[in-house]
Amino acid sequence: MNRRSILSLFITCVALLSSLFAAPAYGCGCVGSPPGSCCWCANGVWVCQCPGDPGSCGTGWECIDGCCSWCNAWDTYTAIGSEGDIYIWPKPCRICEWVTFDNDITDIDHQEFGVFWGYPTYHSYPQDSLTYSWRTNPVTGRWLSQTNLATASWEAPPCIGTVQVYLDVDDVPAEATNPCPGYSDENRDDTGPVTFGDSMQVVLPSPCQAGEGHVYPHWSESIHDCVGVTNCGITSVGPVRWGDYEGHTYEAVYNNCAWEVVFHISSSIRVGICTDIFQDWDCSSPGVVTKDNYCDFVNFFRNIDPCSTGGTGTGCGPAAGGQVVSDVACVTIHEYTHYSEWRDFFYGVPDWLEANGYLDPIPIVCDDTDTTHCSTAALLFASRIEDDLGAYLGNKIADIGNDTSGEYRARLAAEPCFESVADDICLCAKNKGWSNEKPCNACPP
């Protein structure tokens, strides 16, 4: 290497070292850093694609970092409600059942920043947080959790029917850098709240049914066989049964958010006119009523005492020649007085039950498990009715057979009939001439 070459190399190195300690320059004598990504040095001056003036890049473009760029910062990628829904379980639900409300609703936004020259197009998909508000229409049931959660718990009402379930959802835009001038993160806020809805049926638990409460009295009657009977007539009330009539039990049916009772009660009665033990007398009857004893029979039938006890009070007797004398029509009046009293009383049992509150509906209370199913409600009705009704029926049966109450009323009812029998005996005695031979003060002259 000659001396000229060595000198040229030295000068070049000094120039390079000097540039390290001077203001930087980028080609063609430009000083400093480029003012933007889309800028270059020309004749010692920085030149950019756009000077930054509004509208310098044309409609729809922005001058960003010296570049004519297009910028669409946010768009609705999956708006609230475009994906997801609410879910109800179980559906349908039973009265007072606990129900879960859930959802899979999302809100994902799209951020896009594109550059014509310089930076590449940029995308991001931030997900907003959501706010929730559950409600029902009608306002019913009971919330078991807060209603502002994504998942809520609810207790169904004690009433059947359709319930509309609603979820109001709104977004809280997530924080993100917006590189587009003139835009803000608020542009990510979806229009809201958005309401989601579904309907559900509140139903009865199986096998319960809806209906109306009622008391069904069942009546049966038959003829008494009179075997071993010493009176001229007999009336007997058979066992009074309720609840299990023809296989039924107390049944509770749903009506207007409460249970009502369907109740069966049955009774039987037997009435016998025991003609085998007495003569149904008329003037042509042989042998028993005679000239010598007719006045005794007249006095007997005229003076039947309703307050007396035993067979005499019923009009069964007296006996003559081993034969008891009476009258079928009068004995029938006596026995059917018992019959009618019991029948009318028995058919009045539903009114008595209602008037005394035994049939009052049992409201369904979700906190009381005895009231949330028809089977347990039926047991509540049974415990309410059973003992008191048994006592009420038993007292009436005893009253009908009592000499100073039911028997008194039956004898009193038949008294005019037996008076007529006495009149018939007097007329018969007159027609047969007995009254001329043996007058009777109990007969009219």
pLDDT in tens, 196-216: 999 999 999 999 999 999 999
Average pLDDT, the chain: 84
The residue type of 122 is: Y
Q: Is the pLDDT of residue 176 over 60?
A: no
Residue with tokens 């997801």: 84
Backbone phi, psi, residue 141, to 5°? 70, -165
Which fold is adopted by the domain 62-203?
A: Immunoglobulin-like (2.60.40)
Residue indicated by tokens 């859930």: 102
Residue 48's H or E segment, with its range, is: strand 45-48
Which tokens is 407 given?
Answer: 């028997």
Residue, of 51 and 429, whose pLDDT is higher: 429
Q: How far apart are CA 190 and CA 213, in angstroms?
A: 54
- Rounded-to-integer distance, Cα 333 and Cα 137, Å: 66
Task: For residue 12, give the amino acid letter.
Answer: T
Sign of the CA dihedral 391, 396, 398, 403?
A: positive
In tens, the pLDDT along 346-404 reads 999 999 999 999 999 999 999 999 999 999 999 999 999 999 999 999 999 999 988 88
Give the rounded distance of the alpha carbon of 272 from its chain centre: 50
pLDDT at residue 315 above 60?
yes
Query: Concatenated DSSP letters for 288-326?
Result: SS-TTTHHHHHHHHHT--TT--SHHHHT---EETTEEEE
As to burial, measured by CB atoms within 10 angstroms (0-12 exposed, 13-18 middle, 19+ buried), residue 98 is middle
Mean local confidence (pLDDT), 144-165: 98
| One-letter amino acid for residue 282 of the chain | D
Which residue, among 232, 292, 289, 242, has the nearest Cα to 264 in the 3D structure?
242
User: Is residue 327 scored above 70 in pLDDT?
Assistant: yes
Check: CB of residue 126 under 8 Å from CB of residue 111: yes
Residue 209 CB neighbours (<10 A): 12
Do the Cβ atoms of 200 and 92 come closer than 8 Å?
yes
Res 183: pLDDT = 54
In which residue are the tokens 């039911």 written? 406
- Has this prediction a pTM greater than 0.85? no
Q: Report phi then psi at 123, rounded to 5.
A: -130, 145
User: Could you tell me where in the chain the CATH 2.60.40 domains are found?
Assistant: 62-203
> Is the confidence at residue 329, as pLDDT, over 60?
yes
pLDDT at 13: 36
Asked if the model's pLDDT at residue 28 lies above 80, the reply is: no
Per the listing, tokens 């018992």 go with 338
Of the segments 105-109, 265-269, 322-326, 356-360, which one has the largest average pLDDT value?
356-360
Asked if 215 contacts 265 with a C-beta cutoff of 8 angstroms, the reply is yes
- Can you say whether the dihedral through the CA atoms of 424, 425, 430, 436 is positive or negative? negative
pLDDT of residue 7: 31
Q: Dump pLDDT digits (tens) for 272-309.
A: 999 988 999 999 988 889 999 999 999 999 988 777 66
Q: Which amino acid is at 271?
A: V
Smallest CA-to-CA distance from 277 within 222, 330, 317 is with 317
Q: Which residue has the tokens 């009219």?
A: 444
